[in-house]
Amino acid sequence: MFHGSITALITPFKDGDVDWSAFDNLVEWQIEKGTHALVPCGTTGESPTLSHDEHMAIVKRCVDVVKGRIPIIAGTGSNSTREAIYLTSHAKEAGADAALVVTPYYNKPTQAGLYEHFRAIHDDVEMPIVIYNIPGRSIVDMDLETMTRLAKLPNIVGVKDATSDLSRPIQTRQAIGDDFCQLTGDDATVAAFLAQGGVGSISVLSNIAPEECAKMHNAWADNDRETFEALRDRLDPLSHDLFCESSPAPVKYAAKVLGICEEDVRRPILPASETAREKVDAAIKFAGLKAR
């Protein structure tokens, strides 16, 4: 259903508000450079600090700009089941193609609680749902048995796996089947994740290198290993250094350097430190990225 380079969009800010002009330009640039799908209002888009009105406006704006040219997987997760249903329902009404729903953070639900959370969203809103499993941020880790149960529901279509456990794609495929869409949420694991049976990446890196990331995934699909490996190696420092401090501060700094948008972030995230900036500058140079 979804594949390739899928950008977890940053949300450009200016003077404390959403910079709509920069957002529109970012979306158009992503499509122009070959990105396969977009995720507005994920955690890279600073969804925890967006108001509900901003969140819904961004999803709708993304749909309006894209105009069906590529799929949109709207971030709609929450640690409140009711809120997740509300945001998912809005994403469907706005015209998004699917919802990306994170495992509830802070609450630390049991596996049974995780199942019931996702089942409730599934039963209330009829649209494809991608599970976002990121124990490093949400504390809970959805186990394979729970994911297998959820995959039996017709609209639970895949997972964004940010566990960095590269044994999981094989185990998940064996338990659920090839039709379950497995996407990595870790830029640094793309090559290994694809080799283990994944079909794409929901990427932070592709905010600033959409063409390179799309070409890398296309090369994998075309069995062009020489191109794939060359791009993988060029982008590898960025795939690490964009996470040298709390995301999305480093990638927003990179976006400013490359002329994409301002580097403004919302507290409690702070702008990238001088040390982080030096790392990102070096990685941008290594990757050969040029300002727009």
Annotated catalytic residues are: 132, 160
Task: Name the residue with tokens 């890398």.
Answer: 216
Distance CA 254, CA 12 (A): 12
CB 264 within 8 A of CB 49: no
Cis ω on the peptide bond leading into residue 128 (within 30° of 0)? no
What does the alpha-carbon distance between residue 283 and residue 292 come to, in Å, rounded to a whole number? Answer: 17
- The whole-angstrom separation of Cα 2 and Cα 154 is 16
Amino acid at 161: D
Q: Rounded to 5 degrees, what are φ and ψ at 38?
A: -130, 145
CB 165 within 8 A of CB 198: no
Instruction: Please state, in angstroms and rounded to a whole number, the distance separating the CA atoms of residues 271 and 148.
Output: 40
Q: Look at residue 67 and give its three-state secondary structure.
A: coil
